Amino acid sequence: MKYLKVIAFTHKQIELKELGKLVICQENLTEKLRAVKEHFAIDEIFYLSTCNRVEFVLSTSQKVDREFAEAFIASMNIGLCPHSTKTFLDAASIYSGQEALNHLLRTSCSLESLVVGEKEILAQLRKAYDDCREAGLTADKLRLVMECVVKTAKEVYTNTNISKNPISVVSLAYRKLKDLKLCSNARILIIGAGETNRNISKYLQKHKFSNFAVFNRTLAKAEQLAADLNGEAYEIADLANYKKGFDAIITCTSAVEPIITPEVYLSLLNGETGKKTIVDLAIPNDTAPEVLEQFEVNFIEVHSLNEVAKKNLQERYQELVHAEAIIEQNITEFFVMLKQRKVELAMRQVPEKIKEIRNNAVNTVFADEVQSLDKESREILEKVINYMEKKYISVPMVMAKDILINNN
């Protein structure tokens, strides 16, 4: 377990608006991770970015401390100035070994989320890992960790009420949007076709909204979401030239610079003067601050959901106790599994060695004696040898596992 390390930047120590400065553009994310993996001789790595956290999960024998984190972040070339880098590093949480595993389990169960009980984090964590696994950035050690992470989260969501009547960032945002009493044929622009916007689209569809235009960097993904909503699909580059008007904008992209600038917003208005609504769930915000200064807008963002999240945490406090008990049990089971895994890896050559001994005995050492036996005797001898071979393979493995588990 000593190999597991986590460098975490979260909403607990960092303002959400500031946290967005740490987000890495998806286009060159794999390239950056591969470069730091090689530079620091890291065995395995994956990167997690959500609306309230940016984390790096590592498998490495190296000591990961403030000094390492500083060099690591510098090598990521995120574009931070020295002052911002120092501020973020001062607020970073660094976990190692069991503490790192506990942190990942708590994160997957939403105990570390802005809104405790939201299930989106598990899907986000799995996707972050899967993306890095497909890119060849992870291997066996983080695979075992992720199996434990997924198993634990499912048990918590199944066996506690922590997600009963869930109030996620998406559902909170929709509730605020609903309070504005938009009519069902309101013109809604959806910018970004990722998981967050797909989820909020389900709420909108469920409540009979039907007039959608979807914009995304990749047109194919825009077309996929637009097809689900019976809407129109565009590339984000088409946003500045869109002239069909709108009543509400729902935006959540991974862009590091604002997409909705005053110029773009004015163009989208196309001469209309009524008060519009923007739901901006991106970190950093997709909406430039100047838009809010220059135009009258109903603005809903992640940061504004903070107070509701705190109330949610208080109401679910008792469920935290139950969830933490499940996490503790899974950590105990994980250590047992790790020990068994070590035995399996250490003894994986035992079967081959036993087969070599068997073949040498039958074909060399006792070859003449075996050949002198009649057919029936040789068949009986073969059965005895096969039986002994299986026992000599299985018994030492079982005994070794028992000894290791009971003596450690």
Least reliable range by pLDDT among 10-24, 44-58, 95-109, 221-235 = 10-24
The DSSP output letter for 166 is -
- Check whether 135 is labelled as a binding-site residue: no
Q: Which residues pair with 278 in a beta bridge?
A: 249, 299
> pLDDT band at 328, cuts 50/70/90?
very high
pLDDT at 232: 96
To which residue do tokens 């901006």 refer? 280
- Check whether 97 is labelled as a binding-site residue: no
Residue 77 pLDDT greater than 70, yes or no: yes
Query: How far apart are the C-alpha atoms of 244 and 104, rounded to whole Å?
Result: 45
Query: How far apart are the C-alpha atoms of 214 and 231, rounded to whole Å?
Result: 7
Three-state SS at 5: strand
Catalytic residue selected from 25, 51, 183, 252: 51
- Check whether 216 is labelled as a binding-site residue: no
Residue count of the chain:
408
Percent of the chain with pLDDT over 70: 92
Report CA Rg, the chain.
28
Indicate if 183 belongs to the active site. no
Segment 312-336 shows an average pLDDT of 84
Query: How far apart are the C-alpha atoms of 122 and 150, rounded to whole Å?
Result: 7
More confident residue, 139 or 168: 139
**Single-letter amino acid, residue 247:** D
pLDDT at 66: 93
> pLDDT band at 71, cuts 50/70/90?
very high
Residue 406 pLDDT greater than 90, yes or no: no
- Check whether 197 is labelled as a binding-site residue: yes
Segment 24-48 shows an average pLDDT of 93
To which residue do tokens 């024998």 refer? 61
Is-cis flag, bond preceding 82, omega within 30? no
- Check whether 360 is labelled as a binding-site residue: no
Q: Are 404 and 339 in contact (CB under 8 A)?
A: yes
Supply the DSSP string of 330-383, one letter for each residue. Answer: HHHHHHHHHHHHHHHHHTTTHHHHHHHHHHHIIIIITHHHHHHS-HHHHHHHHH
pLDDT in tens, 116-161: 777 889 999 999 999 999 999 999 999 999 999 999 999 999 999 8
Handedness of CA 34, 38, 44, 47 (dihedral sign): negative
- Check whether 245 is labelled as a binding-site residue: no
> pLDDT band at 208, cuts 50/70/90?
confident
What are the tokens at 322?
Answer: 């139950």
Residue 166 pLDDT greater than 60, yes or no: no
Residue 61 pLDDT greater than 90, yes or no: yes
Segment 223-250 shows an average pLDDT of 95
- Check whether 224 is labelled as a binding-site residue: no
Nearest CA to 10 among 38, 41, 39, 52? 52
Least reliable range by pLDDT among 53-67, 312-326, 333-347, 390-404 = 390-404
pLDDT at 408: 54
pLDDT at 284: 87
